[in-house]
């Protein structure tokens, strides 16, 4: 069969490699893909929001199944569009994608279904902001309602900052929405829990913890993610049962009652406080870089899983996992998450001899005249599997030093919570 994979990040390269391993697959096309995917798939340089052009190439290449990686085309309704054109596609509908596309929508699902989450207020104007300030202690979390490329969340320690950032969002700082969601600040430890969902059932699809801050010791501004590890030791069996019963099941039931059952990957972003889970956010796709530590641990043929999910046969699917641990460290371009240069040469990658359980997933990369260049802020994901997080990290750091990219930087302390010094 022929598969189309939409997206261009490290997540998509990890998915592409796993799809490539399947004996069910004849051909993979990546839209638009990156330098890494170009080695195992046909990259087609199309804007991921140009649905008509995507459809045209899906037909040209006789694609049997489409996998959508990133959130923006999902929120814009690519699944509905492709289904209308009788194309098999894995991912949630436009309505269900509002779980990530609108924080206000997600919070209302929580309120109506008694899902544990931070106290909140949906604000349409400054008056609502002042009302919340009078009823909630600092710090306060300010969130833009719509998609904001990971830049729409601010933790504010003063009322002045809450008002300032809320005002910027009201004035249209983020094109996706002018609504603001204010939340109480929850103090605890973050973790991510993943499931794969068909119309009637869901299956566990891994746990992870990532590092969002750009600098070591979790300092500096937020990023898309500087590294991650899996599984998350924090999520023990008793906690997992609460996550499923108090958060996941009520959410999926709520969407089903609206005649919009969820299908696809569902990423449950959690704050854990005294072994109690609180929902911070939903993402309607695999995380990035979490995907890069979960996918290498998957033993079952991922294409078979996708087929069963689309056919509503997940209940009969036995998804198996390697018992080993995994970690990834993201090599970024200097300047990220602020301004950075593109088209900088990456010279030493071909010198790296990876062992069987090690991977280099490309993210912001491209080839021009067979020369590897950076094409984004997060450039490479160096990933390894093993039995001990400390040894895994040491191996990854060894590879990064071999790459020796003078325009890059990375965090050396990924996994510090689970590695004894």
Whether residues 178 and 129 fall in one domain: yes
Whether residues 245 and 176 fall in one domain: no
CATH code for position 195? 3.30.470.20
pLDDT of residue 151: 76
Whether residues 271 and 371 fall in one domain: no
Whether residues 212 and 290 fall in one domain: yes
Whether residues 201 and 275 fall in one domain: yes
User: What stretches of 22-84 adopt beta strand conformation (E)?
Assistant: 27-32, 42-43, 65-68
For residue 282, tell me if it sits in a domain: yes
pLDDT of residue 175: 81
- Helical H segments across 258-354, by residue range: 291-294, 302-310
For residue 225, tell me if it sits in a domain: yes
- The residue written with tokens 């300092």 in the block is 219
Residue 133 to residue 136: CA distance in whole angstroms: 6
Structure tokens given for 165: 């950032």
pLDDT of residue 120: 96
Partners of 184 in the beta sheet?
A: 140
Query: Tell me, what DSSP letter sits at residue 247?
Result: I
Structure tokens given for 130: 């002042």
Structure tokens given for 415: 């996994």
Domain boundary among 316, 348, 383: 316
Whether residues 272 and 200 fall in one domain: yes
Whether residues 368 and 294 fall in one domain: no
How many domains are there within the chain?
4
Q: What is the dihedral of CA 31, 35, 39, 42, to 10 degrees?
A: 20
For residue 105, tell me if it sits in a domain: no
CATH code for position 136? 3.30.1490.20
Domain boundary among 163, 184, 205: 184
Over residues 204-229, the pLDDT tens digits come to 999 999 999 999 999 998 899 999 99
Over residues 88-114, the pLDDT tens digits come to 999 999 999 999 999 999 999 999 999
Domain boundary among 91, 109, 141: 91
Whether residues 240 and 356 fall in one domain: no
Residue range of the domain that includes 135: 119-184
pLDDT of residue 421: 54
Query: Tell me, what DSSP letter sits at residue 338?
Result: S
pLDDT of residue 410: 98
Low-confidence ranges of the chain (pLDDT < 70): 421
For residue 387, tell me if it sits in a domain: yes
User: What is the number of H-type helices and E-type strands within the chain?
Assistant: 13, 22
CATH code for position 399? 3.90.600.10
Q: How far is CA 155 from the centre of its chain?
A: 21
- CA distances to 29, 56, 69, 340, 410 from 85, in Å: 19, 11, 20, 40, 43
Whether residues 158 and 220 fall in one domain: no
Partners of 121 in the beta sheet?
A: 182
User: What stretches of 171-310 adopt beta strand conformation (E)?
Assistant: 180-184, 189-197, 202-210, 213-215, 219-222, 227-230, 264-273, 276-283
What lies within 8 Å, CB to CB, of 48 at 6+ separation is 6, 7, 8, 31, 32, 54, 70, 72, 73
For residue 109, tell me if it sits in a domain: no
- Answer for the pair 15, 286: CB distance below 8 angstroms, yes or no: yes
């Amino acid at each position: 069969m022929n598969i189309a994979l939409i997206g261009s990040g490290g997540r998509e390269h990890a998915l592409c490699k796993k799809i490539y391993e399947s004996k069910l697959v004849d051909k993979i096309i990546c839209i638009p893909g990156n330098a890494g995917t170009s080695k195992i798939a046909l990259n087609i340089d199309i804007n991921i929001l140009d649905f008509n052009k995507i459809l045209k190439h899906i037909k040209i290449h006789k694609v049997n199944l489409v996998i959508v990686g990133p959130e923006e085309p999902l929120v814009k309704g690519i699944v509905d569009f492709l289904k209308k054109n009788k194309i098999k596609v894995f991912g949630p509908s436009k309505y269900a994608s509002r779980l990530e596309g609108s924080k206000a929508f997600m919070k209302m699902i929580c309120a109506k279904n008694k899902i544990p989450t931070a106290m909140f207020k949906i604000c349409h104007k400054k008056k609502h902001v002042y009302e919340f300030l009078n009823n909630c202690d600092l710090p306060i979390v300010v969130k833009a309602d719509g998609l904001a490329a990971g830049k729409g969340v601010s933790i504010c320690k003063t009322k002045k900052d809450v008002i300032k950032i809320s005002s910027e969002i009201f004035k249209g700082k983020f094109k996706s929405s002018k609504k603001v969601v204010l939340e109480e600040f929850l103090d605890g430890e973050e973790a991510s829990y993943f499931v794969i969902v068909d119309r009637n059932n869901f299956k566990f699809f891994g746990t992870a913890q990532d590092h969002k801050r750009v600098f070591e010791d979790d300092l500096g501004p937020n990023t898309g993610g500087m590294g991650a590890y899996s599984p998350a030791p924090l999520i023990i069996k008793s906690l997992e049962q609460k996550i499923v019963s108090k958060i996941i099941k009520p959410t999926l039931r709520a969407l089903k009652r609206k005649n919009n059952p969820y299908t696809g990957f569902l990423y449950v972003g959690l704050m854990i406080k005294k072994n109690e889970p609180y929902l911070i956010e939903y993402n309607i796709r695999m995380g990035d870089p979490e995907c890069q530590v979960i996918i290498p641990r998957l033993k079952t043929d991922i294409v078979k899983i996708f087929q069963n999910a689309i056919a509503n046969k997940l209940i009969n699917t036995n998804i198996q996992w390697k018992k080993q641990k995994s970690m990834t460290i993201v090599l970024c371009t200097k300047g990220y998450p602020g301004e950075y240069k593109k088209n900088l040469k990456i010279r030493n990658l071909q010198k790296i001899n990876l062992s069987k359980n090690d991977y280099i997933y490309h993210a912001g990369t491209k080839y021009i005249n067979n020369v590897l260049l950076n094409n984004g802020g997060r450039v490479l994901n160096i990933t390894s599997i093993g039995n001990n997080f400390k040894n895994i990290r040491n191996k990854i750091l060894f590879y990064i030093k071999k790459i020796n990219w003078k325009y890059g930087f990375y965090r050396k302390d990924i996994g510090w919570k689970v590695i004894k010094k």
